[in-house]
Amino acid sequence: MTRCRFLLTSALTAGVVLVPTTSALAARTSANLTAPACTDSWRAPVSGAWSDAADWTNGIPSEGSPVATCITVAGTYTVTLAPWSIGTADPNHQLAAITSLTLGAASGPGKQTLVVLGQSSPNDSDEQVNTTGLSTTEPSLITAHGRLVLSSTDGGEKAKAVPYGGDAVVSGGPFTNYGGVTMMVQDANNKAANYTQFYGALTNEPGASVTDQSGLLDVNSVTNNGKWTVAPGASMDLAFQPPGSGYGAGVFTNSGTVMNSGAISAQAGTWSQLGGAVAGNPVALQDGTKLVDHAGAAKFVVNASNASLVGTVPKGQTITVVGGVYNYQGDNYNSTTLGLGGTTVVNNGTIVVEAQGPKTTGGVAALSDGVIDNNGNLVAEVNHSSWTVNWQIGLTNNQAGKVTVAGGTLNESGGGSDVNAGTVTVAPGAIWLLQEGSAFTNQRRGTIVPEIAGPTSVGQFAVAAPCCNGAGAVNAGGALVPALVGGYIPPANKDFPVFELEGGKFTGTFSSVKGAFSADYTHETATPAFVGVVYKSNKSKSSKI
């Protein structure tokens, strides 16, 4: 899922820092910021081209000596950075490589806009380049009056057999935004210009906005305390870049608002959900991405290879693990895994583990490597008979917690220990398979609800000993509450095998069996062996309780 993009990097050495540090910027609001000292400034409140030397106080900010560049004159106007050339003998310029940028006045009327206009253009060797970029080396600032627009277009000069157009890129030093940043693609079908990149670290402050308006936006390091929007039809990748690119795994830290009306995906990076909210479509966590969870309503989906989760899943948040196929070194693997990083994850929200899809394109959905302390909802569901849901975790289901096996087989084979003080429901025809040393203990306050929809349509536990790491086990206690669903009414004395003993162990008894049922322990040593419930039977003959 990783995309490798052409990245612009500055060849400048570090110059004098002429803007506040990132920590200083974060400590102040845009209202009381003053423009730092500048070595080259836009002269007047009129629109014009970045390449027009007369509009600057010290010539065109370019690949020359380090320049602290300011567009800070009050008023409403637009500066456009597009590929340019000065005279027929001079190199062509696709990159403005500067020390820093201050965009927007500290006060006064109007909005000051810089547009980075992606176009195709010939380089100094007469080869076509499909990128226009702004590269910085030191912290930069967008004030509340500033607007930065990255626009990828079909325009520019064309070499033979090479497409028109280019992407728009910002790279290098960090940006702090108190105003507005917009990314757009004018023609999503033009593969030379169907994306934008913001590869300088971007901090979006409270009251500020970033909008991915169209096309694909690649980002690498984001701290969002304001409003972040991915519009319908647009997409954003928190992308991993290979060694040597100057950028590593992407990081998105959210304490603000994310409106995902398009598609957001993260590959091999970290999404830290510290607060705020993620609304709209789920954020896709793929290819080893780590979710550091703390607070805020959100929806996440793990749908490619694997991801990991640490922290607390808050109330109002849903994480869905979807089984699927992925390719590694030419071979297909049919599984999707959410690991817990060897930690205990507290779940106050909803975690859904869903195996689905046909044999060639679907896959197992799995949880591994840790413990879930559950106060919310935990759901295992199989939507295609080719697959199972696999758990290799420990589970503590607290009194407020609900665990549901909604269909298919939940295969628990990692030697985990499950303790239930809440409610566990197994839907008709679904199976919770305990094997390879896995054990389920129903505590005094715990409730097991096997649902029954027909003579053979029963929610069951299968307790097995197939191989190598010990038998599965069920330790009875608490309440067993069979539930008739779908209008089914059994005949009197109908026995239902709720716990199938396939070499596994069953110990203890339930303190209560509710409804029109009684427990049946008389078949524990039979062939086949089971512990069941009998509908409207004589408890004294069929039950130990």
Token reading at 28: 């102040």
Is residue 240 in some structural domain?
Answer: yes
Is residue 177 in some structural domain?
Answer: yes
Residue 540's pLDDT is 37
Provide the 3-class DSSP secondary structure of residue 32. Answer: helix
Q: How many residues does the chain have?
A: 545
Look at the block and give the residue holding tokens 């009197």: 492
Distance CA 289, CA 307 (A): 5
Residue 470's pLDDT is 87
pTM for this model (two decimals)? 0.90
Residue 56's pLDDT is 97
Is residue 294 in some structural domain?
Answer: no
Residue 161's pLDDT is 72
Is residue 378 in some structural domain?
Answer: no
Residue range(s) defining the domain that contains residue 18: 1-248
pLDDT in tens, 396-416: 999 999 999 999 999 998 888
Q: How many domains does the structure of the chain reveal? A: 1
Residues of the chain with pLDDT under 50: 1-32, 34-35, 539-545
Q: What is the DSSP letter of 543?
A: -
Look at the block and give the residue holding tokens 């027929």: 88
Please state, in angstroms and as integers, the Cα–Cα distance from residue 488 to each residue in 322, 405, 519, following that order: 32, 20, 19
Is residue 509 in some structural domain?
Answer: no
Under 8 Å between Cβ of 501 and 524 = yes
Residue 65's pLDDT is 66
Is residue 242 in some structural domain?
Answer: yes
Region at 288 (left for phi over 0; alpha for psi -120 to 50; beta for the rest): left
CA dihedral sign, ordered 526, 529, 530, 535: negative
Under 8 Å between Cβ of 229 and 212 = yes
Is residue 93 in some structural domain?
Answer: yes
Is residue 102 in some structural domain?
Answer: yes
